[in-house]
Amino acid sequence: MHLKRLSRLLKDECEFVYIDEGRSRFNNVFNLRSLNLFRYLSIVRKVDTVHINSGHYLLRIFNIIVCKLLLHKHTVVTVHRNPEAEPCLSITRRLLNKCDHVIFVNKEAHDLLAGCDKSGRFVVRPAFLPPVLDEEPQLPASVLQWIQDARTKPNHCILVSNAWNLVMHQGEDLYGLDICIQAAMRLCKSECTTQYFFIFVVASCTENTEMLNRYKKQIKDNGLDRNFLIWISPLSFVKLMSCSDVMLRTTNTDGDAISVREALFLRKKVIASDVVDRPRGVILFKNRDVESLTDAIKKSVGQDLLLTENETTDYKSFYLSLYKSNNETTNAKTS
């Protein structure tokens, strides 16, 4: 999503060529997992600037070695997550020092990998770019109907969260679907006047299907069918957030979550785990603590929205300053 918005923002200034690294394949987009290194090298040789957005540390290392050390390309790297759990940190640090610009999406990652660098090549900048709701696809009809039904209930509160897949991290559910269900169980069985409705989006479920089935059974066994929807399919999460009251970010590790900043941009209440520094206006709960999450949800209902300061960043000028080259038109390859 970040790359889609970035290419749209700079469409009049840059020509983007993509190299994808994900397990899913897209038509007319070269995927590095095809192991066609000749095609990879052919693409990289033709561009002026390489912007590496690799999510996996090995792919990040590979791209830096090839693009910067071997082909001497103008290289920009965005570190999208906190790399504290990654092995080979010393190698990553050395390689990042070879790059022309490095963007960290939070201060924790910057302090871990950049230290006290004074060169100005290392910056902390959220990956957020403003969404354009009119360009987002419509939500599925069944999801819209579910929301409409929830809206008919008195004192309703619709909460949304998402995961790209069901993934374990350090032996726990990375995206916190389990603690969202447990919080829903507490809230829906309590005597509070607010009626809570949860939508948790799992964009794909290629892993841990047994865990998904266990969660669905837990919802059914506790009579939460009308209060908790697990949606297994991609959809426009920013569009879903626009229809909600509260956005939940229950991950047990994080970078600078774009969805958190999108929700704040949409002037929605946000509840997030305290695993990293969060933007002003976010309601924090103690990581993996169901009671703390439940209390934060209750607190959000009676709390006025704390608006964040107006964003004044000139995103276009910022990225153009990183991509600049001697050519009038910059071709940026993005992983």
Measured between alpha carbons, how far apart are the two ends of the chain, in Å? 13
Record the tokens describing residue 97, joined without a space: 């020092």
pLDDT for residue 325 is more than 60: no
Residue 120, pLDDT > 80, answer yes
Q: What is the pLDDT of residues 242-301, one digit of tens each?
A: 999 999 999 999 988 889 999 999 999 999 999 998 998 999 999 999 999 999 999 999
Both structure tokens of 235: 């959809």
Confidence band, pLDDT 50/70/90 cuts, at residue 128: confident
Residue 1 predicted with pLDDT over 90: no
Q: CA 83, CA 108: separation in Å to the nearest integer?
A: 9
In angstroms, rounded to a whole number, what is the distance separating the alpha carbons of residues 179 and 165? Answer: 16
**How far is 184 from 85, CA to CA, in rounded Å?**
30
What's the CA gap between 49 and 334, in Å, rounded? 9
DSSP secondary-structure letter at 305?
P
Mean per-residue pLDDT, 69-73: 97
Q: Are 107 and 124 in contact (CB under 8 A)?
A: yes
Task: Give the three-class secondary structure for 34.
Answer: helix
Average pLDDT, the chain: 91
pLDDT (tens digit per residue) in 196-206: 999 999 998 87
User: What pLDDT does residue 82 have?
Assistant: 80
SS3 (DSSP) at 272: strand
**pLDDT top residue among 207 and 217:** 217
- Of 131, 133, 136, which Cα lies nearest the Cα of 6? 131
**Where do the structural domains in the chain lie, given as residue ranges?**
2-130+313-334, 133-301
Residue 83 DSSP symbol: G
pLDDT tens-place string over residues 104-117: 988 888 998 987 77
pLDDT-based confidence at residue 328 (cuts at 50, 70, 90): very low
AA letter at 7: S
CB neighbour list of residue 295: distance below 8 Å, 6 or more residues apart: 285
> Which tokens hold the place of 130?
């403003």
310 confidence band (pLDDT: 50, 70, 90): very low
Task: Find the mean pLDDT for residues 67-72.
Answer: 97
pLDDT at 85 exceeding the cut of 70 = yes
Residue 103's H or E segment, with its range, is strand 101-104
Query: pLDDT band for position 309 (50/70/90)?
Result: very low
Listed residue (74, 14, 11) closest to 328, CA to CA: 14
Q: Can you give the length of the chain in residues?
A: 335
- Most confident range (mean pLDDT) of 140-149, 204-213, 306-315, 317-326 is 140-149
Which pLDDT value is given to residue 315? 87
CATH 3.40.50 fits 2-130+313-334, yes or no: yes
pLDDT at 68 over 50: yes
Rounded mean pLDDT, 313-321: 88
Considering the four listed CATH numbers 3.40.50.2000, 2.40.50.140, 3.20.20.70, 3.90.1150.10, the one that applies to the domain covering 133-301 is 3.40.50.2000
Please give the pLDDT value at position 208: 84
Q: What is the distance between the alpha carbons of residues 65 and 42, in angstroms, rounded to a whole number?
A: 16
- Strand pairing partners for 177? none
What is 107-127 written as a DSSP string? Answer: HHHHHHHTTT--SS-EEE---
- For the record, the structure tokens of 138 come out as 């419509």
Please report which confidence band the pLDDT of residue 331 belongs to, taking 50, 70 and 90 as the band edges.
low
Query: Any idea what DSSP says for residue 50?
Result: E
Q: How far apart are CA 192 and CA 157, in angstroms?
A: 12
Lowest mean pLDDT among 129-133, 212-216, 329-333: 329-333
Residue 32 · residue 20 · CB < 8 Å: yes
